[in-house]
Amino acid sequence: MQEWQYPGGIMLEKVFQPELPKWSVLLGAAALEQPIYEGSHRYRAEAGPAIDIRYYDIAFLSSGEGLGVNLIRGDTYRAGVSLGYDLGRRESEDFARLHGLGNIDAAPVVKAFASWVVSKNVPVVVRADVRRIVGSKGAAGLLGDLDLFMPLPGSSETLLMLAGPSVSFANRQYTQRVFGVSNAQAQASGYEPYSAHGGDSAAGFGFSATKFITPHWLLNTDLSISRLLGSARDSPITQTELQSLIEISGSYQW
């Protein structure tokens, strides 16, 4: 998904509801369909938990955002750090395309982020983040995102719809690890050696809708489409530059 879709409308809560509850807990289940790996034209379905626990607007634990704290916060702005994870990539996910490239192990991700709402009358959210994937056996690189999103007309107290664009960046270390082909990998896989460079890696657009069936039960849908750019697009392992994702979750909030 676009990075802004993980916290979604959380950033707008304090703008429209200054008195936040001490604890906000959301638990549920989610199902999603996404590419087997970045650049693949094959998709797979997965299921997992949907978790979002927040203490005021200070700390949070989320299946999308990880474990984090908002170090700087106000009615229209927020900035902090979090610890999450990257699932990596395994040859066995698509042996025909990834054979000889080796596994990219799961690894922790350290993130710094900041969000700003223009105003209550103009509820446009500008968000930026920088992420570092830690560990030499993982994707081991630096990524960043610049997002902009806003509520859509038709939103109400029981239906929140958000949409907006996003641009992603990555350094050479990441793009070479994920999209490059070293000399050793070329010999093992049959691909030609490919040297990736850093820069723009993707541009996309996301849509999120949250429907409150009751005051506590809610249904959430996220749609995302991205176009790979630069070295990610031109990599020999990339089958299609267009990548899409759909996630549906049902949750109980109290």
- Domain ranges for the chain: 3-253
Low-confidence stretches of the chain (pLDDT beneath 70): none
For residue 184, the model assigns a pLDDT of: 97
CATH of 3-253, one of 2.60.40.10, 3.40.50.970, 3.60.15.10, 2.40.160.40: 2.40.160.40
For residue 67, the model assigns a pLDDT of: 98
For residue 17, the model assigns a pLDDT of: 86
For residue 18, the model assigns a pLDDT of: 83
For residue 136, the model assigns a pLDDT of: 85
CA 156, 157, 162: angle at the middle one, nearest 5? 55
Q: Residues 166, 203: contact at Cβ < 8 Å?
A: yes
Q: What is the pTM of this model?
A: 0.94
Which residue in 105, 68, 73 sits closest to 89, CA to CA? 105
Structure tokens at 240: 């299609």
Give the burial string for 52-73 (b: 16+ CB within 10 Å, else e).
bebeebeebebbbbbebebeeb
Structure tokens at 68: 């984090």
Give dist(CA 109, CA 164) in Å, integer.
24
Three-class DSSP labels, the chain: CCHHHCCCCHHHHHHHCCCCCCEEEEEEEEEEEEECCCCCCCEEEEEEEEEEEEECCCEEEECCCEEEEEEEECCCEEEEEEEEEECCECHHHHHHHHCCCCCECCEEEEEEEEEEECCCCCCCEEEEEEEEECCCCCCCCEEEEEEEEEECCCCCCCEEEEEEEEEEEECHHHHHHHHCECHHHHHHHCCCCECCCCEEEEEEEEEEEEEECCCCEEEEEEEEEEEECHHHHHCCCCCCCEEEEEEEEEEEEC
The tokens 């908002």 sit on which residue?
A: 70
